[in-house]
């Protein structure tokens, strides 16, 4: 067992608990999408429209996460929603009337796009009746997840891993080690108060064993600059940890507190993922996602460049 005394902070470890066992652990088949939040950072746009349904280029924010899940081998998605968010479930359901209309009009491209959304994964939903925190939202998904490892996607974050989805990067680590894995990114020291920050022991390049989690530390006090981002692979043991987690400020049960409790009984790893993250829960992150993803799309790239050049000329 690795202890603070046996492995100095910042050194690599050959912990036998982290021995490579490729293919020995269950693959990740289920993903939980907590989507019950009010989206106050995106008001007034999110007043009547779920923030997860705000459009980036040509699809809702949450669809990017579900597509990432599907391409990472995930088969089932559990949406944790709330009153007024029925449109999220509707988006991933079949729409017979719309499909019939598109077919009658010969709009084959539109028909294919609509059918593709409904066929990405199997979707189920559970309601979070009160805003009791991210940990509480994950705990509500337990009956639909069962006793198997699962993924968690924070739908505000679009994670663009190119040909290697970020969740696929995490699931490969889980397949080798069988423990929970958190996606992390290095942030500037002055930005540590915005994130959960990890104290870690390096395992190998880009992979770390989590020693402790510190919520939004002040600059100069953070144990590292490794910040938790919106993708997780968790073992089912986290459910028991969350049940034992006391509510904190505002009566909320935090996922980070549940994972911190998990550290006492089993290893948790942090992976520096390869890819680009867009925080679509903030106005500037949402704007950046629209611009950069439109520039990356062959269908919109040229027109977007021309639009931006024209806007910059007029702004000078």
Catalogue all structural domains in the chain, each as residue range(s) with its CATH number: 16-281 (3.90.550.10)
Residue 18 above 90 pLDDT? no
Pairing state between β 226-234 and 157-160: unpaired
CA distance 30 to 124: 11
User: CA-to-CA distance for 113 and 111, rounded, in angstroms?
Assistant: 5
pLDDT of residue 16: 52
Could you read off the pLDDT of 249-308 as tens digits, one per residue? 678 899 999 999 999 999 999 999 999 999 999 999 999 999 999 999 999 999 999 999
The per-residue pLDDT for 202 is: 93
What average pLDDT score do residues 112-134 get?
Answer: 92
Whether 188 contacts 276, CB under 8 Å = no
Looking at residues 124-147, what average pLDDT do you find? 94
Write the pLDDT tens digit of every residue in 22-67: 456 788 999 999 999 888 888 888 888 999 999 999 999 999 999 9
pLDDT (0 to 100) of residue 304: 96
Looking at residue 4, its pLDDT comes to: 32
Helix, strand, or coil (residue 194) = helix
Euclidean distance between CA atoms 145 and 36, whole angstroms: 18
161-220: pLDDT as tens digits: 999 999 999 999 999 999 999 999 999 999 999 899 999 999 998 999 999 998 888 888
């Amino acid at each position: 067992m690795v202890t603070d005394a046996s492995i100095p902070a910042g050194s690599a470890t050959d912990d036998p608990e982290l021995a490579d066992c490729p293919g020995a652990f269950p693959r990740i088949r289920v993903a939980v999408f907590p989507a019950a939040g009010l989206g106050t950072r995106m008001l007034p746009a999110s007043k009547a429209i779920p923030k997860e349904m705000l459009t980036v280029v040509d699809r809702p924010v949450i669809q990017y996460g579900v597509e990432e899940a599907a391409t990472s081998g995930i088969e089932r998605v559990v949406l944790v929603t709330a009153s007024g968010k029925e449109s999220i479930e509707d988006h991933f359901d079949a729409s017979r009337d719309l499909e019939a209309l598109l077919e009658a009009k010969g709009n084959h491209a539109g028909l294919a796009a609509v059918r593709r959304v409904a066929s990405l994964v199997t979707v189920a939903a559970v309601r979070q009746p009160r805003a009791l925190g991210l940990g509480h939202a994950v705990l509500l998904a337990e009956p639909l997840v069962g006793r198997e490892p699962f993924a968690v996607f924070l739908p505000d974050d679009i994670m663009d891993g190119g040909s290697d989805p970020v969740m696929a990067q995490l699931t490969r680590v889980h397949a080798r080690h069988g423990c929970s894995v958190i996606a992390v990114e290095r942030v500037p020291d002055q930005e540590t108060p915005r994130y959960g920050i990890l104290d870690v022991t390096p395992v190998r390049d880009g992979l770390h064993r989590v020693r402790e989690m510190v919520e939004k530390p002040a600059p100069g006090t953070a144990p590292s600059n490794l910040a938790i981002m919106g993708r997780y692979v968790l073992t089912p043991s986290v459910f028991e940890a969350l049940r034992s987690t006391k509510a904190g400020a505002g009566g909320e049960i935090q996922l980070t507190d549940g994972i911190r409790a998990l550290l006492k009984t089993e290893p948790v790893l942090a992976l520096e993922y390869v890819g680009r993250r867009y925080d679509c829960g903030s106005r500037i992150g949402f704007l950046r996602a629209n611009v950069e993803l439109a520039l990356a799309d062959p269908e919109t790239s040229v027109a977007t460049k021309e639009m931006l050049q024209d806007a910059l000329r007029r702004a000078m």
